[in-house]
Structure 1
């Protein structure tokens, strides 16, 4: 396709985020954090349904055992859809008023890496956490003002994580026991690039980053060099993922909060000219 396709549906997301490709359902899931919804797009017929949640719907990841694990408010829950039943695994940031969860990815070992942020995104009360298959939750780094966009190296050697407020994507080596090495700056965004948000790797090791405020997704080479961008008709681009049986379709989320844009909050599809990597699941 030569331009972005807007997925037809009856609503826009206040803060669309966290797109997840489900090969077993041939469907794309994503969240509207502020709208407190989890959305599902069927790639069989383009039908979109959504599931209301009791608090901020931060992310959703498939469980290998079936169903999902999700971040709702500050709770990590096992989630059964379409019944929309929730079972709490645990919570984070006890005693920190005004925080919520934000952005997550599973790795090849079946762990989930996720952030927390202040709802106002204006103070460093957020952290970076790990959920292990046995249900243990560990704070692994912090503080963060806007913890965002984890991406896991396809070989499981390192992960990337962002503090959007610092315009920096950080790199951490992943040790065999799941602990992290020292945080190292990997990509510092320059003026005019927007602000780094959600991200994902392609099959060649390139990193695709949603650029909040710049209306695009940008690919960086495995070495961190800015490669190319795809422009979208909305300014607040939030995350992206590869989908479809051949993982050659790139879906991109956006936000409508605080902007007056016809396509703000839309879900887009673009042709990335490459393929992605299979989605990893939580193994509890």
Structure 2
């Protein structure tokens, strides 16, 4: 198991760091602290850190095509977020009949369609679901009955969607049609005992899947057949997600959580590791900002 990392210097530690997203437009890495209710940014050119306090749990952000506003997932639903000046404009609430749920993890597919999941914020029921939001504003529920949704990620060609139920230790794979509809779900990876649980994911340019291990203290790379290729160990217990960043997409940033740990100084930090491969350029959501 490889050990090659640096820690991004911050006085703070994330309670539940998640959702790292690389902004090509601004040269900035964004990520969230869900439980800490804070959005963070790191400008790579000068290592400038910024953060914004949020009025509720913020679960992810992505860029939007043709707009400086971010699209964000909150406990209450999806909203447009302007940072300068700071304004939140609610867009939709996909689960009005599930008041105990919150959103959890999202990514945009190669066509510009947003995919996002939900979970029971009390961790009591398997009430999570997988949704898509297209450029016209239409929301579809594609799959249901998750304990903890995580991921999602896509093959380089955009013909496969990977999605995780962390509570069950499973990474699923779905055929993804050009029309945005999913084919039959199959189990792609079952995490072994001692690995922890699969959390956030990303795909590299070679079609390999990188998965964060919640409770497993590492990030692992799996080949297109679901076989373990290699792992990179990190000095934090709950590793939550990862993304490629930088002008050449050859840097990888990894989030972690201090939640449900011994509270050591490495828990909840932002790591940078050397992946040895390049990633896929992130796609902006194709819908129009409000």
**1:34 aligns to what?**
35
Runs of 5+ consecutive residues of structure 1 not aligned to the other structure: none
Q: Secondary structure at the match of 1:208?
A: strand
**1:14 aligns to what?**
15
CA separation of 1:54 and 1:127: change in aligned 2, threshold 3 A: same
Q: Deviations over 1:253-274 (max 9, x none)?
A: 0000121221111000010111
**2:229 aligns to what?**
227
Aligned residue among 200, 205, 215 for 1:203: 205
**1:56 aligns to what?**
57
Instruction: State the TM-score, normalized to the length of structure 2.
Output: 0.95
Q: Write out aligned runs for 1:49-128 (5 A).
A: 49-66=50-67, 67-128=69-130
Moved more, 237-246 or 4-13: 4-13
* Pairwise CA distance, 1:10: 2.1
* Pairwise CA distance, 1:194: 1.4
Residue pair 2:148, 2:165 contacting (<8 A) in 1 also: yes
Instruction: State the TM-score, normalized to the length of structure 1.
Output: 0.97
* Pairwise CA distance, 1:82: 3.2
- State the distance in 2 between where 1:171 and 1:93 align: 24
Residue pair 2:196, 2:214 contacting (<8 A) in 1 also: yes
* Pairwise CA distance, 1:122: 3.1
**1:236 aligns to what?**
238
* Pairwise CA distance, 1:2: 6.5
- State the distance in 2 between where 1:151 and 1:22 align: 17
**1:139 aligns to what?**
141
Q: Secondary structure at the match of 1:165?
A: helix
Q: Write out aligned runs for 1:253-268 (5 A).
A: 253-259=255-261, 260-268=263-271
Number of residue-to-residue matches in the alignment:
284
**1:245 aligns to what?**
247
- State the distance in 2 between where 1:82 and 1:245 align: 24
Moved more, 111-120 or 73-82: 73-82
Over the aligned positions, Cα root-mean-square deviation in angstroms equals 1.2
Residue pair 1:118, 1:125 contacting (<8 A) in 2 also: yes
- State the distance in 2 between where 1:50 and 1:99 align: 25
